Structure 1
Amino acid sequence: MARDISKIISPLLGNTDQHCKNSIELAKELKEITIEDNDILISHDVTSLFTKTPTQKTIDIVVNRIRQDKTLHKRTNLTADDIAQLIGLVANSTYFTYDDTIYKQLEGFAMGNPLSATLCEFFMEDLEQKAIATAPPNCKIKLWKRYVEDILEIIPKGQTETLTQHLNNIDDTDSIKFTYELETEGSIAFMDMKITRQTDGTLNINTYRKPTHRPISIMDIRTSHHTQNVSNQNTISPNKHNDRRERP
């Protein structure tokens, strides 16, 4: 059901100028851009997007978009209210079993659910449009390209903290928070690209490979306070029963 709902609502996504389809398309766009000496390349990243995206607010955003969609009837016989109920059902079905214990995720959307990425994308599109429209005047955003929760920007130098504070205040549920990275020696890594400014203001694109990390063990998962798992008591709640046969 989750996959079917995703197919119905996905055509409404990816139609903004800020949308980044893949690194190949982005590289083509970046080659047409010239960066000024008083500008800086930065990237922002959402902390724990899936488990921090506000559930009900996101559903409201999706339903509002669906109600305005004049082509919905071509993809399904379901009404906007029908889809809203189904999304709510899927979004709240966040039970899982780990180490003979049943848990329920209390916030956000479950990773691995076919619908979760689609719902998070709806939320991020809504948030970024508000962020760009209300950005401080001295923080002119000259480039904004987003791939899922990663955003590449070009803004005036000295405005990174201002923009970050602005982004962290957009979500009125106070769930979504951003971190940032600055260009280093004229270069910044984004997706699988290393983007480097040239002396004439053009951007050079090379392939980037992230440093290899050691494999994550079960012990790492059980003891980490930063991963989205059973150790995070803010988003995960254990069921009192330990019977694997129990169904929520």
Structure 2
Amino acid sequence: MDVESLFSHVPINETINFICNRLYRSDEIQFPIPEDILCQLLQACTKEVPFYRPDKNMYVQIDGVAMGSPLGVLFANFYMGSTEEMIFTQHYELKPSIYTRYIDDIFISADTEDSLSQITEMFKENSSPNYTHEIEIERKLPFLDTVVHRGTDSFSTEVYVKPTNLGFCLNGASECPERYRRSVINSFVKRALTHCSTWTATNAVLKRISQLSNNGYKKEEIYDVIRGRLDTFMAQETRVDNHATINLYYKNDMSSAYKQNEKMAE
């Protein structure tokens, strides 16, 4: 599910109320700034910020948050989080088995398409932005930079390449420092290692990276970066898998009850 134009549709006053309710109506949080002062500060940073448009006139933001604003992501996340909490609390039967969100992109695992349509309509009715949804095709669905494959009892992922991607990147013959060229290769390899959940998918991406030689990169340089990245990755995997964590308990003074303390530490 996708939230259309989330930042420009975030209701400022409503979101500020959400923030204040969470900070000042909770027994778990003791916020040091008085509520009225915080509300004034949030209002000043969102609704009193002037900006110029191409017509050379100055305007003031009325509603919504600017994507470049330091508070933009905070407000967008707070508004969506509060909306989700309200909807799934009041309509618990609609809550899907999997619901994850990154800003305005939402990944849902629903039992039926009708269930997904009901969730989408519920969000439309209870919040300002519009929502659209996309259904998997042949058990595959693009989400952020990955393609998610739905198996019988698990999911797997691989790097997502848009159909319109022509493979343009910094030319290897460009007049630029060597570290720039290597960083291009490095970023592709890193994405393969972080986004692919199987070695089959990783190998397919690494083979595609080797085609950078068609864009002026030397094959020796490509393979050197790939080997270096793989060596580092495998070394980290080995350290994590083969070495258990040992907690060492330290006491800076010795008492007569040290044996009892040692037993408690064990």
Can you give the 5+ residue segments of structure 2 that lack an aligned partner in the other structure? Answer: 167-266
Q: Quick check: 1:50–1:109 contact (8 Å CA) kept in 2?
A: yes
2:98 to 143, 147, 150: 143
Can you give the 5+ residue segments of structure 1 that lack an aligned partner in the other structure? Answer: 1-43, 214-248
Give 1:136 shift. Answer: 7.1
Report the count of equivalent residues: 162
C-alpha distance in 2, partners of 1:95/1:88? 13
Specify whether residues 125 and 69 from structure 1 end up closer, same or farther in structure 2 by C-alpha distance, changes over 3 A only.
farther
Give 1:84 shift. Answer: 1.2
Task: Confirm whether residue 79 of structure 1 aligns to residue 23 of structure 2.
Answer: no
2:109 to 154, 171, 188: 154
C-alpha distance in 2, partners of 1:107/1:130? 22
Matched residue of 1:96: which SS? strand
Give 1:93 shift. Answer: 2.2
Alignment correspondent of 2:161:
209
Task: Confirm whether residue 50 of structure 1 aligns to residue 11 of structure 2.
Answer: no
126-135 or 116-125, larger mean C-alpha shift: 126-135
Give 1:90 shift. Answer: 0.9
Matched residue of 2:23: which SS? helix
2:57 to 101, 105, 111: 101
2:129 to 172, 176, 189: 176
Specify whether residues 116 and 69 from structure 1 end up closer, same or farther in structure 2 by C-alpha distance, changes over 3 A only.
farther
Q: Quick check: 2:47–2:63 contact (8 Å CA) kept in 1?
A: no
Give 1:124 shift. Answer: 0.8
Specify whether residues 165 and 127 from structure 1 end up closer, same or farther in structure 2 by C-alpha distance, changes over 3 A only.
same
Q: Which runs of 4+ in 1 moved over 6 A?
A: none
Task: Confirm whether residue 186 of structure 1 aligns to residue 142 of structure 2.
Answer: no
Larger Rg computed on CA atoms: 2
Higher relative CO (Cα under 8 Å, sequence separation at least 6) belongs to: 1
C-alpha distance in 2, partners of 1:158/1:110? 34
2:22 to 55, 59, 65: 65
% same residue: 26
Q: Quick check: 2:51–2:60 contact (8 Å CA) kept in 1?
A: yes
Task: Confirm whether residue 92 of structure 1 aligns to residue 47 of structure 2.
Answer: yes
Alignment correspondent of 1:27:
none
Alignment correspondent of 1:165:
121
Equivalent residue letter for 2:8: T
Instruction: Calculate the aligned-residue CA RMSD, in Å.
Output: 2.1
Equivalent residue letter for 1:101: N
Q: Quick check: 1:63–1:81 contact (8 Å CA) kept in 2?
A: no
Q: Considering fraction of residues, name the structure with more helix.
A: 2
C-alpha distance in 1, partners of 2:35/2:156? 45
2:84 to 107, 114, 128: 128
Task: Confirm whether residue 118 of structure 1 aligns to residue 71 of structure 2.
Answer: no
